Every structure is written in structure tokens, then in C-alpha cells.
């Protein structure tokens, strides 16, 4: 009996010892053992957000919960500034509109907590840091105080996506045998627009608009960049900074736009349009060509909306025109690499920062990208034997009143961290047609790439200590948009433009010389 | 041309009267046309608006813009929040404004000029957003509904309107009540306030409109969006709608017409105030004039 009791006692002691020994080991294995609660400052969120599968999965896997401090989008700046200046920002900030000047000021005022120097624990985030140059722009004394949300998810290249979309069905009707991505010279482009106006393929009469600009007058200066890429900035010529507006190609741009305006090829009074008015006309079937920011998602939406609005319109009836300059190049600019950031308030706990970085890293895995793109695998979607995604829900299911609306909303959570659009190029994504992604978007990018006149972002201009430059930028450069409009609608565009340039030439030259001294010598 | 006057006699219509009617009609049209246009637009589909522009009547009217505002959003909750903030806020504001105005209307009030000048000073020089926010935070009201009620409780302009009215009241009334043994509080509630209905109605309407339209402080001091008033919720819906249109793949985007939704939002936010106005209208014109003229 006593032996039995002794062996039982010994066994119990051994089991207990093992269990006790295992506790710290388990704790080591699970870096998320401690449950964390914190608040996230953001413009995105919904009442049922915590029920979305991706959010639930993240909260369970990383053992945390969070409150949302939601801010209305158009008062973001005022709210953020007030909270920043009063040191009242919540621990985690999903920064909607990252303003670099403000960022630097707030770093100086100790509003933020620096990210870890060593980000190797978050390989997906580290990969972004290694890939995109903009991270260097946000380092202060070698430290990052915010993680910029990378905007460019385009795997083809870094080009901005301002392009010309056109109605191929109308081109065919007029006897043009245009390719989905059609290269035209300036003169051919103008001739085509004139032909559209003369032949009126849509039988629109006065309502026909041969060329529409997405945001009306706000985009006239962007259109002018087809002739002068640096019309609204400073350029480097022969190792010297020069004010871009002074280039004679500016006047050529204005003359070209005036020709279109005077001949009724541009929408009448479009200089006064509200944002998106041009796109709305194009979507309603009134315009033959639309110039605007047409990334893959917008192109896809445009094609589908046109197919809905216009009887007989197929996706293949949408095309892109590549405008070729007289020297045979394509004028393209570098896309802005970021638009927001996530950051941490200076009172943020270390463990909260580590947990949030881990979640951000995890969300960049393809599995999570697929979850926010399609829903839960096995339940909402699967892949067939060819690798194509097969969805198990209808459009109705994911509408605002549908049972799977979370699939449309989950991207809000993803937006807290990195960017939208990662799912666009997922293989077999049924939301995007091969025609839009390959035949239009990628082909267009590759056409540009074949002979690009590439205007890269000059980060010097956002880093300069030259205060005169910033004054000049806000008072003169920002006015280029208005002067282009004034010149185009005036009787003497050259007089209007030259008077503007002459008025500011001396100041522009002085600032250009200072920039040359600061950065190029 | 003659017309019937208030005494029953016919009065000759003069050229000035004709001009007056035409001028006022013109002013009325300036107000009515955009309003009517907004109502029409709220019932238009995007396709119809872009193809036909402004029309007197929608050819294919839709309730879709109103549906997009209410279905699947927190609009109803936000509406009740707005009602709560408006009712509580207006009651509190009226309490502060009337009691202070009554006190300051008394010539023998100790330190009257000092208090008045201090109040008037705030009409010209504000403390700014940051100090005000810090005050709310230090009072422990950050994230609390009462922050919205208290934040905008006092309005110097409205208080001065009321004070002017109080000053215009004949002192004999109060003296008579005092001789009958009425206390100061009783005089205020039972004698003075009932005589000021026009002014009270006017100032109440000012407060109601201010409270109903308020969004900035709510955005700043409320952390939980479930506490948001309707104005904030509407802004968020419009933002979400325009974002959806731009970023979301065609299959999963809600098909919304942002401009139509804006028009519907204008109507939805105006409607409650429009319903309140007729009840206060009979006092309103009189009240505006009385407060402005010192006897």
C-alpha cells in the first residue's frame, strides 16, 4: 500500500514538475499570450467590423481587441492636429492623409513613437522598406516614425496611371481599326477627335463630348503635361534646376488645349466642372475619350458600368490611347508612392506596437490578401483545377443588404495597414477580366515602357530647407492650374501665359539657383 | 388698382407696392429654385441627370438615393442622437441664456458692466480649438455625450438678444409682483418669461438650428461613432459612397450616385427643422425685431 502510495506520489510530482516546466516554454512559444486592448484612430470602420472574418481571425491569432476612434474624413486634418497638439492621439494611428511637412514637425514635437530599428521580425514589412525609396524620405535621424502605406501595387512598373480611355465601338463605327491599346501622335489624336465630332457616332447631337477630362479644369494642367511634364514644377536641365513653366513647350500645350476647346472637342465649360463630372459623362455614354487617373480597378469599373449603361456595349469596346510625342516618346510620370501611413502615439506601449506590426506583416501574406478579396476560403470561395477562383456567392449576397456584405467591407481593415489594390493582380481573380488587366492595362504600361520619357519624383523638392521654394510653390506653382485655364479661354493665350511667366521668372530663377546650390553642387 | 386694407376699405395700389411684390417674388424664387432643384435631383438616377441635366420633373423617379442613405447605415441611430443633442442642448442653452440675460438686465446688478464686457469679449476673441479641447478633456468629458451638449451651450449673441428684451420690459410689472409677495424666481418664471414668448421662440429656433447642424465638435470630442449625430453620419456615408465608386471592384461596389445622395442628404437634414419652423413662425418675425431694438 505504502509503495503504491509512494509511486503515485512520485508520479504526481513528476507530472507537476513537467507541467510547471512547460509553462515558461509555452509562454516563449506564444509571443501573443498576453491579451491586449487598445484604440485605433481612423477614418474607416463599421459597427459590425469585429464580426468580419478577417478581423476576427486577426484578433484571435494575435490575441487583442481594439476600439475604433472614427473620424469623419473631411475633418481628418483638424481632428488629427487638435489631438496631436494636445498629445491626445490614441495608441495606434491609421493615418489617412500623410502630410510630410506635418509629419516632420510632429516628430520634432515628440508626438510619435519610433518604429523598431530592426524590422526583420516582420519580413513582409521589411520587404516594402527595402523596395520603395519613399521610406528613406520619412527617416528622421535614421528612424522611422510612421510606416507609409505604399500606394503602388502595380507589378508592371512605377508609372502614374493617368491615361486616355476611348470608346472602341465608336471608333469601329467610324471605320477606324484601332487596337485595344492604340498609339496615336498628337496630330492623329486631334484628327480623331475632330472626326468624332463630325460623325457623331453615338448620335448624341449637342450632348456629344469628343474628349472629357475626369476632373474638368483641375485636369487641364495635367493634360498639359503631355507636352511639358514639368509645367507645374522644377526641372533639372544640364545639371541646373530651372522653373519648368518657362519651357516653351508650356505654350505649345496651352495652344493645343485651346484648339480642342475652341473647336468644341473638350466639354463646354468643363474648366468649371466638379470632380468626376467628366468621368460621369463618359460612363453615361456621352464622351468618346476620357482622360483621367485610370488604374486597373477604375478601368474595370468603367468597362462594367459602360456595359450596364449602354445597350450592346462589351468590355472589349473599351480601349486606351497612348499619346506619342513628336520625338516618339511617351510622357509618363512617377506615381506617388504613398498616400497615408500607420503610426504610433508616443505613449503607445511597446507590446501594442509589436502586435500591430505583426498583424500588418501577416495581412501581407497572400492567404490574407485572398481572404479580404474573396472571403473565407472553402466557405465563400475555392479554386478550380485550373487555379481559377470560384466564388460561392452572388452579387446580391455582397450588396449592402446581403448576408456577405463583409466581403465588400473587409478591405477597410486592410487599409489600416498597407494599401488597397493588392488583390487586383491575384491569379484568377474573377473580379477582374483578363482583357482589362492584360490586354489594356499591362499592354499600355509596356507600351509606355518601350520608349518612356519618364519624369521621376524629385524628392529633393520635398526635402529642401529653402523656405522661398515653399512660398513659391504655394503662391505660384499652385496657380499654374488657374493660369492654364485663363490662357486657354482667353483670346490671346500667349499674352496671358507669358505675362504670368515673366512676372515670376526672376523669383523662379533665384529659387532654381538656390536648389542647384543645395542639391546639385 | 385698389385692394382691401386691414380696415376693410379699399386702398390704392401704388407703384412701390408693385415693385415690392415683384422684388419679393424674385427673392422668393432665388430661394425656391435651388431648393426645388435639390428635391428633384434627390429623385434622379445618375444616368438621367447626366443625359438630361436639370429637369422640372424626373422622368423615372427613384428612391434609390434615399435608400442608399438609410439602408445598411447607422442613419436612424444618428438621427436619434441628433434629436437628443438638440433637445438637451437647446434646453440647457436656453436655461443659461435666459437666466444670465435676466440678471444682466438689472441695472443694479453688482459688476454688471464687467460681466457684460467679459461676455462680449468672447464674441470677438475666441480661445481656439486646442484650449477648448483641453478643457473638455480635463473635465473628463472627452468621449462623453455631454461634451457635445455642454461644448456649445452658451452663445453670447443670443444672450444679448434676450437681455435687450428683458431690459425693454416695464419694471412696474415686476415691482407689482414683488409687492404682492412674489419671490425673484417666481417673478422670473411666472411673470417675465411668459411675456417673452416671441423672443424665446426666436432664440430657441437659433439654438435648435445650431444644434441640429453641429458636427465639428461632435467629431472632435466623440470617440465612439455610435454617438455621432446625423450630420457626421451623413458625411461618412457620402465619403464611403464616393470611395466605393472609386476603389472597389465592380462586382462588390454599391452602385450609388454621390450627387443624388448629397441632394437626398440635404432634404433629410432640412426636413426636421422645416417641421419645427411653422410652430415658431408666428413668434419669429416679432422676436427678431424686438431683440434688436432697445427701448
**CATH number of the structural domain spanning residue B122:** 1.10.3720.10
Beta pairing class for A139-140 and A143-144: antiparallel
CA A399 to chain centre: 24
What is the CA angle A172-A173-A177, rounded to 5?
Answer: 20
- Tell me if A38 sits within 8 A of A64, measured CB to CB: yes
CA–CA separation, B165 and A29 (whole Å):
75
Same domain as A477, residue A328:
yes
Per-position DSSP letters for A110-141, written without gaps between them = T-BPPPPS--TTSHHHHHHHHH-THHHHTEET
CA–CA separation, A313 and A451 (whole Å):
32
Which cell numbers in the block locate residue A338?
Answer: 504613398
CA distance A269 to chain B (A): 14
Last residue of some domain: A361, A386, A415? A415
Confidence at residue A78, expressed as pLDDT on a 0 to 100 scale: 85
Whole-number Cα distances in Å, A13 to A10, A19, A25: 5, 10, 19
Cross-chain residue pair A82–B220, CB shorter than 8 Å: yes
Asked, for residue B195, whether it belongs to a domain, the answer is yes
Chain B hits for A432, CB-CB cut-off 8 Å, are: 249
pTM: 0.76
Cross-chain residue pair B251–A398, CB shorter than 8 Å: yes
Q: Work out the number of other CB atoms within 10 angstroms of the CB of residue A197.
A: 16
Name the DSSP letter for residue A266: B
Cross-chain residue pair A78–B245, CB shorter than 8 Å: no
Q: Is A388 at the interface with chain B, CB within 8 A?
A: no
pLDDT tens per residue across all 295 residues of chain B: 455 555 556 677 888 889 999 999 999 999 999 999 999 989 988 778 777 777 888 888 999 888 888 876 788 899 999 999 999 999 999 999 999 999 999 888 888 999 999 999 988 888 888 888 999 999 999 999 999 998 889 999 999 989 988 988 888 888 888 888 888 889 998 889 998 888 898 899 889 989 998 888 888 889 888 899 998 888 877 776 665 444 444 444 445 677 788 888 888 888 888 887 787 777 766 666 655 554 4
Asked, for residue B26, whether it belongs to a domain, the answer is no
The beta-carbon neighbor of A401 closest among B71, B129, B249 is B71
Same domain as A241, residue A207:
yes
Chain A hits for B248, CB-CB cut-off 8 Å, are: 297, 301, 408, 411
Same domain as A313, residue A166:
yes
Asked, for residue B153, whether it belongs to a domain, the answer is yes
Residue of A nearest to B128 (CA): A82
Chain B hits for A88, CB-CB cut-off 8 Å, are: 133, 137, 142
Number of domains in chain A: 2
Cross-chain residue pair A79–B134, CB shorter than 8 Å: no
Q: Which residues of A, range 389-408, sit inside 8 Å of B by Cβ?
A: 395, 398-401, 405, 407-408
Number of domains in chain B: 1
Q: What ipTM describes this predicted complex?
A: 0.70
Sites in chain A below the pLDDT cut of 70: 1-3, 5-7, 10-11, 13-28, 152-153, 400, 419-420
* SS3 assignment, position A221: helix
Cross-chain residue pair A304–B250, CB shorter than 8 Å: yes
Cross-chain residue pair B239–A72, CB shorter than 8 Å: yes
Q: Is B236 at the interface with chain A, CB within 8 A?
A: yes
- Tell me if B100 sits within 8 A of A433, measured CB to CB: no
The beta-carbon neighbor of B251 closest among A68, A298, A431 is A431
Q: Which residues of A, range 416-445, sit inside 8 Å of B by Cβ?
A: 420-421, 430-432
Same domain as A342, residue A321:
no
Asked, for residue B140, whether it belongs to a domain, the answer is yes
Q: Is B220 at the interface with chain A, CB within 8 A?
A: yes
User: Looking up cell 453615361, which residue turns up?
Assistant: A284
Cross-chain residue pair B219–A74, CB shorter than 8 Å: no
Asked, for residue B131, whether it belongs to a domain, the answer is yes
Same domain as A226, residue A251:
yes
Residue of B nearest to A40 (CA): B223
- Tell me if A363 sits within 8 A of A417, measured CB to CB: yes
Same domain as A296, residue A173:
yes
Asked, for residue B7, whether it belongs to a domain, the answer is no
Domain that holds residue B129: 74-232+265-292
Domain that holds residue A285: 162-334+435-520
Same domain as A448, residue A317:
yes
Question: For the packed helices A53-61 and A366-374, what is the interaxial angle rounded to 10 degrees?
Answer: 150
Last residue of some domain: A383, A415, A447? A415
Same domain as A442, residue A365:
no
Q: Rounded to a whole number, what is the distance in angstroms from the first to the last CA of chain B?
A: 39
Nearest to A300 by CA among A316, A282, A288: A316
Mutate to test the interface with B, among A70, A308, A428 (most CBs of B within 10 A): A70
Q: Is A45 at the interface with chain B, CB within 8 A?
A: yes
Cross-chain residue pair A67–B130, CB shorter than 8 Å: no
The beta-carbon neighbor of A407 closest among B51, B74, B252 is B252
CA A316 to chain centre: 25
Beta pairing class for A146-150 and A139-140: unpaired
Same domain as A395, residue A345:
yes
Same domain as A454, residue A362:
no
Asked, for residue B38, whether it belongs to a domain, the answer is no
Same domain as A330, residue A342:
no
Asked, for residue A249, whether it belongs to a domain, the answer is yes
Asked, for residue A123, whether it belongs to a domain, the answer is yes
Strand-pairing partners, residue A342, are A94, A147
Confidence at residue B288, expressed as pLDDT on a 0 to 100 scale: 60
Q: What CATH code is carried by the domain that includes residue A265?
A: 3.40.190.10
Confidence at residue A381, expressed as pLDDT on a 0 to 100 scale: 93
Strand-pairing partners, residue A140, are A143
Asked, for residue A16, whether it belongs to a domain, the answer is no
Cross-chain residue pair B74–A88, CB shorter than 8 Å: no
Name the DSSP letter for residue A335: P
Same domain as A350, residue A326:
no
Chain A hits for B226, CB-CB cut-off 8 Å, are: 47
Asked, for residue A2, whether it belongs to a domain, the answer is no
Asked, for residue B226, whether it belongs to a domain, the answer is yes
Chain A hits for B54, CB-CB cut-off 8 Å, are: none
Q: How many CB pairs under 8 A join A and B?
A: 107
Q: Is A284 at the interface with chain B, CB within 8 A?
A: yes
Amino acid at each position: 500500500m505504502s509503495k503504491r502510495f509512494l509511486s503515485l506520489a512520485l508520479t504526481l510530482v513528476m507530472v507537476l514538475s513537467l507541467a510547471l516546466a512547460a509553462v515558461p516554454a509555452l509562454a516563449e512559444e506564444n509571443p501573443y499570450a498576453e491579451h491586449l486592448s487598445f484604440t485605433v484612430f481612423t477614418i474607416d470602420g463599421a459597427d459590425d467590423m469585429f464580426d468580419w472574418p478577417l478581423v476576427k481571425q486577426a484578433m484571435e491569432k494575435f490575441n487583442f481587441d481594439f476600439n475604433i476612434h472614427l473620424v469623419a474624413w473631411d475633418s481628418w486634418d483638424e481632428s488629427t492636429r487638435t489631438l496631436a497638439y494636445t498629445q491626445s492621439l490614441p495608441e495606434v494611428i491609421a493615418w489617412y492623409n500623410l502630410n510630410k511637412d506635418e509629419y516632420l514637425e510632429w516628430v520634432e514635437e515628440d508626438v510619435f513613437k519610433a518604429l523598431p530599428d530592426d524590422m526583420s521580425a516582420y519580413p513582409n514589412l521589411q520587404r516594402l522598406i527595402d523596395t520603395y525609396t519613399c521610406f528613406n524620405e520619412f527617416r528622421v535621424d535614421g528612424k522611422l516614425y510612421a510606416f507609409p502605406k505604399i500606394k503602388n501595387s502595380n507589378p508592371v512598373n512605377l508609372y502614374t496611371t493617368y491615361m486616355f480611355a476611348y470608346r472602341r465601338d465608336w471608333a469601329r463605327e467610324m471605320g477606324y481599326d484601332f487596337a485595344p491599346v492604340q498609339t496615336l501622335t498628337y496630330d492623329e489624336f486631334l484628327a480623331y477627335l475632330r472626326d468624332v465630332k463630325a460623325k457623331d457616332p453615338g448620335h448624341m447631337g449637342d450632348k456629344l463630348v469628343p474628349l472629357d477630362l475626369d476632373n474638368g479644369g483641375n485636369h487641364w494642367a495635367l493634360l498639359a503635361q503631355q507636352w511639358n511634364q514639368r509645367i507645374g514644377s522644377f526641372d533639372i536641365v544640364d545639371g541646373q534646376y530651372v522653373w519648368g513653366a518657362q519651357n516653351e513647350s508650356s505654350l505649345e500645350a496651352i495652344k493645343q488645349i485651346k484648339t480642342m476647346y475652341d473647336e468644341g472637342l473638350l466639354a463646354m465649360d468643363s474648366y468649371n466642372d466638379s470632380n468626376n463630372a467628366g468621368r460621369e459623362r463618359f460612363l453615361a455614354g456621352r464622351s468618346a475619350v476620357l482622360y483621367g487617373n485610370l488604374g486597373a480597378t477604375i478601368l474595370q469599373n468603367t468597362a462594367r458600368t459602360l456595359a450596364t449603361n449602354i445597350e450592346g456595349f462589351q468590355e472589349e469596346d473599351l480601349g486606351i490611347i497612348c499619346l506619342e510625342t513628336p520625338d516618339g516618346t511617351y510622357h509618363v510620370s512617377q506615381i506617388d508612392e504613398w498616400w497615408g501611413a500607420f503610426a504610433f502615439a508616443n505613449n503607445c506601449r511597446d507590446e501594442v506596437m509589436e502586435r500591430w506590426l505583426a498583424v500588418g506583416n501577416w495581412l501581407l501574406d497572400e492567404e490574407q490578401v485572398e481572404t479580404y478579396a474573396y472571403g473565407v476560403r472553402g466557405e465563400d470561395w475555392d479554386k478550380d483545377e485550373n487555379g481559377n477562383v470560384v466564388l460561392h456567392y452572388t452579387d446580391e449576397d455582397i450588396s449592402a443588404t446581403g448576408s456577405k456584405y463583409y466581403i465588400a467591407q473587409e478591405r477597410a481593415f486592410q487599409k489600416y495597414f498597407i494599401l488597397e489594390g493588392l488583390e487586383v493582380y491575384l491569379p484568377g481573380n474573377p473580379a477582374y477580366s483578363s482583357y482589362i488587366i492584360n490586354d489594356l492595362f499591362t499592354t499600355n504600361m509596356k507600351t509606355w515602357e518601350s520608349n518612356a520619357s519618364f519624369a521621376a519624383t524629385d524628392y529633393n523638392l520635398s526635402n529642401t530647407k529653402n523656405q522661398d521654394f515653399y512660398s513659391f510653390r504655394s503662391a505660384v506653382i499652385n496657380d499654374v492650374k488657374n493660369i492654364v485655364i485663363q490662357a486657354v479661354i482667353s483670346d490671346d493665350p500667349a499674352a496671358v501665359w507669358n505675362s504670368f511667366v515673366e512676372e515670376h521668372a526672376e523669383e523662379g530663377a533665384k529659387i532654381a539657383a538656390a536648389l542647384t546650390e543645395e542639391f546639385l553642387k | 388698382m385698389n385692394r382691401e386694407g386691414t380696415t376693410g376699405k379699399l386702398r390704392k395700389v401704388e407703384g412701390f407696392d408693385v415693385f415690392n411684390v415683384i422684388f419679393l417674388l424674385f427673392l422668393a424664387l432665388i430661394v425656391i429654385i435651388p431648393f426645388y432643384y435639390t428635391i428633384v435631383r434627390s429623385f434622379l438616377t445618375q444616368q438621367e441627370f447626366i443625359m438630361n441635366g436639370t429637369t422640372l420633373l424626373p422622368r423615372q423617379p427613384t428612391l434609390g438615393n434615399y435608400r442608399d442613405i438609410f439602408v445598411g447605415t447607422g442613419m436612424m441611430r444618428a438621427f436619434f442622437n441628433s434629436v437628443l443633442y438638440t433637445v438637451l442642448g437647446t434646453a440647457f442653452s436656453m436655461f443659461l441664456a435666459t437666466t444670465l440675460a435676466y440678471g444682466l438686465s438689472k441695472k443694479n446688478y453688482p459688476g454688471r458692466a464687467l460681466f457684460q464686457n467679459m461676455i462680449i469679449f468672447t464674441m470677438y476673441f475666441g480661445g481656439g480649438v486646442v484650449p477648448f479641447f483641453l478643457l473638455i478633456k480635463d473635465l473628463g468629458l472627452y468621449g462623453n455625450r455631454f461634451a457635445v451638449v455642454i461644448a456649445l451651450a452658451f452663445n453670447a449673441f443670443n444672450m444679448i438678444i434676450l437681455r435687450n428684451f428683458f431690459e425693454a420690459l416695464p419694471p412696474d410689472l415686476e415691482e407689482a409682483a414683488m409687492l404682492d409677495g412674489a419671490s425673484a424666481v417666481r417673478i422670473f418664471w411666472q411673470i417675465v418669461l411668459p411675456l417673452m414668448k416671441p423672443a424665446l421662440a426666436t432664440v430657441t429656433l437659433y439654438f435648435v438650428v445650431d444644434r441640429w447642424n453641429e458636427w465639428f465638435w461632435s467629431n472632435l470630442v466623440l470617440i465612439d461613432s455610435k454617438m455621432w449625430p446625423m450630420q457626421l453620419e451623413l458625411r461618412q456615408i457620402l465619403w464611403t459612397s464616393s470611395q466605393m465608386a472609386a476603389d472597389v471592384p465592380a462586382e462588390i461596389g454599391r452602385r450609388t450616385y454621390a450627387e443624388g445622395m448629397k441632394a437626398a442628404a440635404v432634404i433629410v437634414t432640412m426636413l426636421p427643422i422645416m417641421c419645427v419652423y411653422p410652430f415658431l413662425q408666428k413668434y419669429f418675425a416679432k422676436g427678431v425685431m424686438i431683440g434688436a431694438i432697445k427701448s
